[in-house]
Amino acid sequence: MKYTEEHEWLDEQGGIVTVGITAHAAEELGDIVFIELPELGAAVSKDDEIVVIESVKAASDILAPLDGEIVEVNAAVVDEPGKVNEDPEGEAWFFKLKAADPGQLAEYMDEAAYKKFIG
């Protein structure tokens, strides 16, 4: 697992990267009430705004962590956004991305570095 400074987690398996937000981010956002996911098959570039999350506290955008193509989205979190508060680093992932360059993952933090980052 890798982590971004924007509190996303990335789990790469065979060139496919599953992306969600961390438990820390879900806690900071509060009760999540709306999620808009990217289109299946969309080509994305690193740092594109591709997910919108709205909670009772704030609205946030999730940025594409890598260049690639959206190969799967998790419709369950659109239907029940509260799942992100219940299991943000498990069943409540947002999308899967076929990475154009999996080497881009190297610039992100491992778990120990992320824990230090959030203090």
Q: Computed from CA positions of residues 20, 24, 29, 30, in that sequence, does the dihedral angle turn out positive or negative?
A: positive
Q: Rounded to whole angstroms, how far apart are CA atoms 4 and 22?
A: 10
pTM: 0.94
What single-letter DSSP state applies at residue 39? P
Nearest to 67 by CA among 47, 49, 46: 46
Using alpha carbons only, how large is the chain's radius of gyration in Å? 13
- Residue 74 is predicted with a pLDDT of 98
> Which residues in the chain come in under a pLDDT of 50?
none
Domains, the chain, ranges and CATH? Answer: 2-118 (2.40.50.100)
- Residue 23 is predicted with a pLDDT of 96
Q: Rounded to whole angstroms, how far apart are CA atoms 74 and 97?
A: 12
- Alpha-helix runs per DSSP H in 20-110: 23-29, 75-79, 83-86
Q: Rounded to whole angstroms, how far apart are CA atoms 101 and 80?
A: 32
- Residue 102 is predicted with a pLDDT of 87
